[in-house]
Chains A and B, each alone.
Chain A
Amino acid sequence: MALEKKIRELKEKREKLLLGGGEEAIEKQKAMGKNTARERILAILDDDSFCEYDMFVTHDARDFGMDKKQLPSDGVVIGTGTVSGNPVAIFAQDFTVAGGSLGLMHSRKITKIMDHALKMRMPLIGINDSGGARIQEGVNSLAGYGEIFFRNTISSGVIPQISVILGPCAGGAVYSPALTDFVFVVENISKMFITGPEVIKTVLGEEISMEDLGGARVHCEVTGNAHFFAKDEDECFSQIKKLISLVPRNNQVKAVSCEALPPDKKYDIEKIVPGDPTLPYDVKDVIRAITDGSDFFEIQELWAKNIVIGFGRMGGNTVGFVANQPLEMAGVLDVDSSDKAARFIRYCDAFNIPLITLVDLPGYLPGVDQEHAGVIRHGAKVLYAYSEATVPKLTVILRKAYGGGYIAMSSRHLRADFVFAWPAAEIAVMGPEGAANIIFRKEITTAANPDEMRKQKVEEYKEKFANPYVAASRGYVDSVIEPAETRKLLLHALEISTDKQESMPAKKHGLPPF
C-alpha cells in the first residue's frame, strides 16, 4: 500500500530528526550532566502530552558554507503540552545542533510558539541552551533576538513566562530571560553574562572564571537575575512544575485551587516571635504557621534575604506572601530587597494573586553605599507597587513597624484592604531609643545623670507610642488580634474580598521608578 510506505518514510524522517545533532553530540551533552532538549521537555510535561511542531524546519542560509550544513529542526524544539493538566507552550534550544546557535528559522520557531502561547493565553516555558547568535546568518540572527524580546515584552503580565537556563546564555540572548517572570538555573550548568571572561580579561585585565562571573549561584545570590536555584536538572524540573501549579494560566483567570489543608501543628504561632523587638526569628516560620499545609514556595531564597517573597495557599487558593525577615539584616528595606519585593508585588497584581504582607522592620538600611546606590529610587518601587496593586491586600503587623518602612509595607495609607496588628506591634516613627534621644534631647543632656534620664524617657516613649493602639485609634489598623487568630481572620478577609473591584484613573501607563 502506498500510504503504508509514506507512513514508514515519515517515521524514518522523524527518527533521524529526533537524534538532533547525532549520537556523538548527545554523548558530549550527557557528559556535562545535561539532558537533551527533547528529554528536558518530556521531563517537565505530563506523560504523553507533548505535541511537537516545526520538526522539519530548515535554515536557508547560503554563506560561509551554511548551504552544505544540515541542522536538524534548526537547533530548537517547540511544542505544546500540559503540566499537571495545565496547558503550556514550550521551546528548548538543542545544544547538540550547532551549539543551539540562533539563526533566522530557529528564532521563527521560537516566535511561532510564543505567538501561540499569547493567543491561547497559556504559560510559556523557554529552555535556553545556546552558544548565542549564529554568526554566519548575520543580521538575521539579531532580528531573531529582537522579535523574541518584543514578544516577551508584550506577553508580560498577560501569560506567565518562565525561562530555564540549562547551558550557556550569553550576550544579547540574556535579555529574553531577563524580560520574563521567573528564571530557573542549575548549578554548574547555567551560565549567563553579557561579556564573557575572555573579553573581560583582554579589555580590562580582570581574571574571573565563568562560574564566578555568571554561574547559577552568582545569579541567585549576588545579581538577583535568577529566581530558583537547583542542584541538578531534575530538581529544576520539579520546581517548574510546582510553580506552574501555583500561578494562573493567564491574567484573566485565577490560579486553580485545591483542597485546603490546615498548617502543620509544629509551627506554634504564639512561640515564634520573641517579645524583644531587637531579637531575631525566622519569619518563614510565621508564614508556615498560617499557610495551607505549611507549604511555602519561596522565590529568590538566596538573594536580598532581608525580605521573603513567595507563594502559598490559603483555603486552597494561591496567595503571595511578602514578609520582612528579622533574621537577616534585621529585616530592613534596602536597594535589593525593595527591588525584589516590588517586582513580586507587581507579578501578583498582574495575575490576580492576593497579597499577604507580614511586617516587622526597623526601617531602611543606613549607609553611604545604600544612599549612593539609589535607595531613594529603589525604595520608591515598593510604595509604587503596593499603591497601584488592586488585588486584595492584607497586612499583618507582627512586631515593629517604624517610619518609612511602616508606610511602605502595605499600610492602610497605600490602600491595604485589611490591616491587622498583633498586640506586641510597635507602630511609630522610629524605635524608642532613637525617638527618646531626639524628643528629650534637652532633658537628657542637662540631667544630673543623663543615662538614667535617657532610660526613663525611653520607657516613657515606649509606654506612649510603642504599641498598636495609637494606630488603631485612628483606624489605620483595623483590628488588634491575637496571633492565634491570624489564619482565621486572613481566610475571612480573603473570602470577602474575592470579588474586590478597584479601578485606577485611565492612563496609558504609570511611571514607576525604574
Chain B
Amino acid sequence: MKENIDNNELGKLCVDGTNYSTRLSKSYRKRKQYVPDVPGAVISFIPGTIIDVLVKEGSEVKSGDDLIILEAMKMFNRVKCPLTGVVKSVHVTPGMRVTRGTLLLEIE
C-alpha cells in the first residue's frame, strides 16, 4: 500500500499554516496568479478580431467614448472608455485577432 506511493510525485499543499505532503492536481498547478484590475487597462471581454481602433496614443478621451470596434460572435462590439483621461498606449491594430483578456490599450 504505502509502497505504491511515489514520493517524487508528491508536492506540498498549505492549509491553515500546515504543509501537507500530497499529489497536486493539474488544475492547481496550472492556476493563474490573481492580478487585480488596473483602472486604466482596457481588456478584451471576448475573443475576436479588431476591426478599427478609433483613438491614438495621446488622444484625450472621456468615460463612455468608443475606443475600439471588436468583432466577435458576428457582432461589432464597441469597446467603451472606462474613465476620462489620455490614451497612454495602444497595443492592437486593425485585423489583429485577440483572445479574451488581451490588453487592448491603456488610459491614464
A328 and B1 CA atoms in complex are apart in Å by 15
Select the residue from B1, B23, B31 with max chain A CB neighbours within 10 A. B1
- Mark contacts of A197-210 with chain B using CB atoms, 8 A cut-off: 1 yes-contact digit, 0 otherwise: 00000011110000
B47→A433 contact, CB < 8 A: no
Is A282 an interface residue when CB atoms closer than 8 A count as contact? yes
Select the residue from B14, B22, B31, B32 with max chain A CB neighbours within 10 A. B22
A271 and B14 CA atoms in complex are apart in Å by 25
Instruction: Give the distance to chain A from B28, nearest Cβ to Cβ, in Å.
Output: 6
In the complex, chain A residues whose CB is within 8 Å of the CB of B14: 366
In the complex, chain A residues whose CB is within 8 Å of the CB of B10: 280
Chain A binding surface SS class: loop
A327→B16 contact, CB < 8 A: no
Q: CB-nearest residue of chain B relative to A284?
A: B1
Residue in B5, B28, B34, B99 whose CB lies within 8 Å of A329? B28
Residue in B21, B28, B49, B72 whose CB lies within 8 Å of A280? B21
A328 and B20 CA atoms in complex are apart in Å by 10
Give the bracket for the number of chain A residues in contact with chain B: 35 or more
In the complex, chain A residues whose CB is within 8 Å of the CB of B72: 203-204
A267 and B99 CA atoms in complex are apart in Å by 51
Residue in A206, A362, A437 whose CB lies within 8 Å of B20? A362
In the complex, chain B residues whose CB is within 8 Å of the CB of A430: 16
A434→B16 contact, CB < 8 A: yes
- Mark contacts of A471-490 with chain B using CB atoms, 8 A cut-off: 1 yes-contact digit, 0 otherwise: 00000000000000000000
In the complex, chain A residues whose CB is within 8 Å of the CB of B8: none
A237 and B31 CA atoms in complex are apart in Å by 36
A138 and B4 CA atoms in complex are apart in Å by 56
A327 and B16 CA atoms in complex are apart in Å by 18
- Mark contacts of A201-230 with chain B using CB atoms, 8 A cut-off: 1 yes-contact digit, 0 otherwise: 001111000000000000000000000000
Residue in B15, B34, B49 whose CB lies within 8 Å of A362? B15
A330→B15 contact, CB < 8 A: yes
Is B24 an interface residue when CB atoms closer than 8 A count as contact? yes
- Mark contacts of A427-442 with chain B using CB atoms, 8 A cut-off: 1 yes-contact digit, 0 otherwise: 0001111110100000
A-side interface residues toward B, CB under 8 Å?
A: 203-206, 267-268, 271-272, 274, 277-282, 285, 305-306, 326-332, 362-363, 365-369, 402-403, 430-435, 437
Provide 14 A-B residue pairs closer than 8 Å at the C-beta atoms, listed in order of the A residue: A204-B46, A204-B47, A267-B1, A277-B18, A280-B5, A280-B22, A305-B25, A326-B20, A331-B22, A362-B20, A369-B31, A369-B32, A369-B34, A431-B17
20 extra A-B contacts, CB within 8 A, seeds A280-B10, A281-B5, A282-B4: A204-B47, A204-B48, A267-B1, A268-B1, A272-B1, A278-B18, A281-B1, A305-B25, A328-B25, A329-B13, A329-B25, A363-B15, A368-B34, A369-B31, A430-B16, A431-B15, A431-B18, A433-B16, A433-B18, A434-B18
3 residue pairs, one from A and one from B, having the closest CB atoms:
A434-B16, A330-B20, A434-B17
